[in-house]
Structure 1
Amino acid sequence: AALFGEDQARYLVAVDSADAVLAAAKAAGVPAAVIGVAGGEDLAVEGLFTLPLSQLRTAHEGWMPGYMG
């Protein structure tokens, strides 16, 4: 839940450069932080896990055909 949970108090924003977003959030008194970067061939959380995107793609795209038989 801490890694992938969504609620009305947290949002993920993907941008090329975080500087403008962080400055605007600070000016508005809204807490904001950079929590990671995107790119590469794996989904990784340092110290927890690394999963190849190809494995995630197979699971995501294959569950329905597998379920339907």
Structure 2
Amino acid sequence: MRIGLIVIGLIILAAGIWVVVGNGSYSATDTLAQIGSAKITATHDKAIPQWVGIAGIVIGGLVAVGGFVRKR
């Protein structure tokens, strides 16, 4: 279980760093107009907020340290 906590913590930590650096984004699709079954949609790339990355760094660090410190 210790190794699992360490690995999960490091993955969350790396994802948090990735978002803070500015590389995290997702696509959002908006419907602009709809007439019957015909739709006009637009897809936008939106950045993940930096507070999510900072929270990922903090939580990932705590989980990884918890894995290192955990005793059997």
| TM above 0.5 | no
Higher helix fraction (1 or 2): 2
Query: Could you say which structure has the greater relative contact order, defined with CA pairs below 8 angstroms and 6 or more residues apart?
Result: 2
Higher strand fraction (1 or 2): 2
Q: TM-score of the superposition, structure 2-length normalised?
A: 0.27
- Which protein has the larger Cα radius of gyration, Structure 1 or Structure 2? 2
Q: TM-score of the superposition, structure 1-length normalised?
A: 0.28
